[in-house]
Structure 1
Amino acid sequence: MKKDLEPVTMYHMFAKLFAHLAKEVSDTFGDAGKEAVRRAVKNFGEERGRDIARRAKAKGATNDLANYLTTYDMERSDHFEFTDTYGEDQIEQLFTRCVFANQWKEDQMEEYGYLYCEMIDPAIARGYNENLECIQEKHCFKDGVCAFCFRMKK
Structure 2
Amino acid sequence: MSKFNCKHQALLIAWINRAVVQEIGDDEGERIIRKATKIYAMQRGGRMAQRARMNGDALTMNSYYTYVEWVAQKGDFDQKIVEKMPDSRIHVFKCPFHDVWKENNLMPYGRFYCLEVDKGVVKGFNKDLHVDVLQTKPNGADYCDLIFKEGHMNVKNMLKFMYKKYIKLGKKVIKHWEYHCGHTYKTMKDVIQQELGSRSEGIMEKALQDFTDRFGQESTDIVTSYEHTDFNSI
What is the TM-score of this pair, normalised by structure 2?
0.58
Relative contact order higher in (CA < 8 Å, ≥ 6 apart): 2
**Is 1:11 the equivalent of 2:6?**
yes
Quote the Cα distance in structure 1 between the aligned partners of 2:69 and 2:142.
25
Letter in 1 for 2:143: V
RMSD between aligned residues: 1.9
- Within the candidate set 90, 93, 97, 2:94 is matched to 97
Indicate if the aligned counterparts of 1:65 and 1:90 stay in contact, CA closer than 8 A. Answer: no
Deviation at 1:75, TM superposition (A): 0.9
The runs of 5 or more residues in structure 1 that have no matched partner are: 1-6
Identity among equivalent positions (%) equals 23
Higher helix share: 2
Residue 147 of structure 1 corresponds to which residue in structure 2? 145
Quote the Cα distance in structure 2 between the aligned partners of 1:58 and 1:42.
24
Letter in 2 for 1:15: A
Deviation at 1:59, TM superposition (A): 2.6
Quote the Cα distance in structure 2 between the aligned partners of 1:54 and 1:116.
24
Quote the Cα distance in structure 1 between the aligned partners of 2:105 and 2:78.
21
Residue 190 of structure 2 corresponds to which residue in structure 1? none
Indicate if the aligned counterparts of 1:132 and 1:151 stay in contact, CA closer than 8 A. Answer: yes
Deviation at 1:112, TM superposition (A): 0.9
Larger radius of gyration: 2
Indicate if the aligned counterparts of 1:38 and 1:115 stay in contact, CA closer than 8 A. Answer: yes
Q: Deviations 1:56-97 (Å, cap 9, x if unpaired)?
A: 222321111221111211212121222346634322222221
Higher strand share: 1
